[in-house]
Amino acid sequence: MKQRQVKQRRGTLDGTMRATLISVALTAVVLSLGALASYGQRPALGVALGGTMAVINLYVFAKVGEAFLGKRGNAAPWAVIAVVKLCALVGAVWLILRTGVVPPLALAVGFTSLVIGITVGSLFGPKPPEDEDPTPGMKG
């Protein structure tokens, strides 16, 4: 049986998640540059804000998920962080839309970098390692 040669350090994201985060960030940059070239500074700022919020949201989501699934220590602080993350995201979007800093559609386009980046990162990024020990009773 093959042993995993590289063990994941505690507190770091796996290769697939890193590739997904990079894909989301690069997609946000490309969409922002496209908006700048096509529509101007204000819509480009909206796309960049939406993309930045998407990257931060995915990163915090990954860390919270890692803490819950890794069963390291007490998960209660991570539950609080998840709720704070959700409130901060909703509050930031509300504040941005309420003040009219950027067009709402531009912000939404920035958020689409999350969908595109996750798809690209999952399809073309490194694949997660195979489970070394199959479930007892399951033969493959």
Q: What is the pLDDT of residues 25-60, one digit of tens each?
A: 999 999 999 999 999 999 999 999 999 999 999 999
Q: Are 109 and 31 in contact (CB under 8 A)?
A: yes
Mean pLDDT of the chain: 85
Residue 97, in any domain of the structure: yes
Residue 5, in any domain of the structure: no
Residue 140, in any domain of the structure: no
The predicted structure's pLDDT at residue 76: 72
Residue 132, in any domain of the structure: no
The predicted structure's pLDDT at residue 107: 96
Q: Are 35 and 106 in contact (CB under 8 A)?
A: yes
Number of structural domains (the chain) is 1
The predicted structure's pLDDT at residue 134: 55
Cβ-Cβ contacts under 8 Å for 82 (sequence gap 6 or more): 60, 64
Divide the 140 residues of the chain into consecutive groups of 10 and give the mean pLDDT of each group. 46 84 96 97 97 95 82 73 91 94 96 95 83 56
Residue 130, in any domain of the structure: no
pTM for this one? Answer: 0.80
Dmax (CA) for the chain in angstroms is 60
Q: How many CB atoms lie within 10 A of CB 103?
A: 17
Residue 129, in any domain of the structure: no
CA distance 37 to 32: 9
The predicted structure's pLDDT at residue 102: 95
Domain that holds residue 39: 15-124
Q: Are 53 and 92 in contact (CB under 8 A)?
A: yes
Residue 108, in any domain of the structure: yes
The predicted structure's pLDDT at residue 73: 64
Residue 90, in any domain of the structure: yes
CA distance 34 to 47: 9
Q: Are 24 and 54 in contact (CB under 8 A)?
A: yes
